[in-house]
Amino acid sequence: MLRKYRILLVEDDENLGFMLKDNLELSGYAVRLCRDGEKGLTAFHNEDVHLCVFDVMLPRKDGFSLAEDIRKHHRRIPIIFLTAKNQRDDRIKGFKLGGDDYITKPFSLEEFLLRVEAVLKRVYGRETTADQKHTYSIGRYEFDFHNRNLLINGQIINLTNKESRLLKMLSQHKNRVVERDLIMKSIWEDEGHFVARSMDVFISRLRKYLSCDTSISIKNVHGVGYRLEEK
Whether residue 1 is predicted with pLDDT greater than 50 in this model: the reply is: no
Q: What is the mean pLDDT of residues 84-112?
A: 78
Can you give 59-108 as a three-state secondary structure string?
CCCCHHHHHHHHHCCCCCCCEEEEECCCCHHHHHHHHHCCCCEEEECCCC
| Residue intervals in the chain for CATH 3.40.50.2300 | 6-130
CATH topology of domain 6-130: Rossmann fold (3.40.50)
DSSP 185: I
* Residue 166 CB partners (closer than 8 Å, separation 6+): 183, 187, 199, 202, 203, 206
Q: What is the mean pLDDT of residues 126-151?
A: 80
**Would strands 79-83 and 51-55 be described as parallel, antiparallel, or unpaired?**
parallel
Given CA atoms 134, 222, 191, 79 in this order, what sign does their dihedral have? negative
Q: What CA–CA distance (Å, rounded) separates 103 from 134? A: 26
Question: Buried (b) or exposed (e) across 140-165, using 16+ Cβ within 10 A?
Answer: ebebebeebebebeeeebebeeebbb
Neighbours of 96 (CB within 10 A): 9
Highest mean pLDDT among 178-182, 193-197, 207-211: 207-211
| Residue intervals in the chain for CATH 1.10.10.10 | 135-230
Can you list the pairs that 39-47 forms with residues at least 24 positions away whose Cβ atoms lie under 8 Å?
39/10, 40/8, 40/10, 40/66, 41/66, 41/69, 41/70, 43/8, 44/8, 44/70, 45/73, 47/6, 47/8
Residue 81: band (very low, low, confident or very high) from pLDDT cuts 50, 70, 90: very high
CATH class of segment(s) 135-230? mainly alpha
Average pLDDT, the chain: 86
Q: Burial level of 70, CB count in 10 A (0-12/13-18/19+)?
A: buried
pLDDT-wise least confident of 4-18, 64-78, 174-188: 174-188
- Which has the higher per-residue pLDDT, 178 or 141? 141
pLDDT of residue 26: 82
Q: What CA–CA distance (Å, rounded) separates 136 from 43? A: 35
